[in-house]
Structure 1
Amino acid sequence: MLTIALEQAHFHAYHGFFPEETIIGNEFVLDIYVRIPGTVPIDDLSETVNYQGIYEVAKAVMAIPKPLLEEVVYAITDQLKSRYPGITHSNVILRKLNPPMGASIRNSMVSLEKDY
């Protein structure tokens, strides 16, 4: 297997259950890992998953506010698989920095790992 990834992609987005989160927004950090069969050498971009394409999918999904982070990671995995049918495995990790909980918490996190 060959793994292609984006790590620590930062976004300001408006995901959240509470109304103030959809107004003020928050900082998010996204890690995305995808796997494709890697049994032969790859010498052309069309034979792999372009990490620029991964970022484009993430940016588009992050721009659409969702009440639950679970919705965001599912949307990212669905769109990645649609854009890159050769993906056999994905892991999307989304962190919300300083979640508004009235406590000192570095981040909340939702992770979705899928085999296709």
Structure 2
Amino acid sequence: MSHFKQTVALKDVKCFALHGYYPEEQLIGNHFVVDLETEFTPQGFDDELAQTVNYEDLNSIILEEMKHTQKLLETVLKNIISKVIELYPFVDLVQVSMKKLNPPMPGQIGHSFVKLTYTSAN
């Protein structure tokens, strides 16, 4: 018997936010790019949105959490994962990553990158 795994994801969600460890980063802000991926066993194939993860919800979660200034990107990612699990407790995996474009450091740096992955105990 076959076993299906389904992925629902958003890639390259672009945001401007005030995240950063240093006070000046929280004043001037920066551009960020977020990827969010979920994996789960499908609840069915009845062509109903209630049986899957709605990527509109994922987008809302990202945009809402990006509004809350944090020192560490890891904190933002953890908050996003917590909201996804709360809304969709059946997910087996949630992976979220964030790029901070042109981080304020000496040299030419395209982006910094942080990724956090949640895996259910099931």
Q: Tell me, which stretches of 5 or more residues in structure 2 are unaligned?
A: none
Question: Would the aligned equivalents of 2:43 and 2:51 in 1 still touch at CA under 8 Å?
Answer: no
**Aligned-pair Cα RMSD in Å:** 1.1
Distance 1:26 1:42 in 2: 42
Cα deviation code 1:53-102 (max 9, x no counterpart): 00001111000000000101111001110011111101101110000012
> Relative to structure 1, is the Cα distance of residues 81 and 21 closer, same or farther in structure 2, using a 3 angstrom cutoff?
same
Q: What's the TM-score once normalised by structure 2's chain length?
A: 0.91
Cα pair 2:42 2:52 within 8 Å, conserved: no
User: After the TM superposition, which segments of 4 or more aligned residues of structure 1 sit over 4 Å from their partners?
Assistant: none
In structure 2, give the amino acid aligned to 1:56. Answer: S
Whether 2:55 is the aligned partner of 1:51: answer yes
**Residues 1-116 of structure 1 aligned to structure 2 (within 5 Å):** 1-38=5-42, 40-116=44-120
Deviation of the 1:43 alpha carbon: 1.2
Q: Kindly state the Cα deviation for residue 41 of structure 1 after the two structures are TM-superposed.
A: 2.2
The structure with more radius of gyration:
2
Q: More displaced, 45-54 or 30-39?
A: 30-39
Q: Secondary structure at the match of 1:43?
A: coil
Output the amino acid matched with 1:70.
Answer: E
Q: Could you tell me whether the CA contact under 8 Å between 1:42 and 1:48 is conserved in 2?
A: no
Instruction: State the one-letter code of the partner of 1:12.
Output: F
Output one character per residue of 1:3-35: Cα deviation in whole Å (capped at 9) or x when no partner.
Answer: 000000000000000111111100000000001
Identity %: 34
Aligned amino acid, residue 90 of structure 1: V
How far 1:38 moved relative to its partner?
A: 2.7
What secondary structure does 1:16 align onto? coil
Q: Residue 2 of structure 1 aligns to which amino acid in structure 2?
A: Q
TM-score (norm 1): 0.96
d(CA) in 2 for partners of 1:39 and 1:96? 35
TM-fit CA distance, 1:40: 4.2
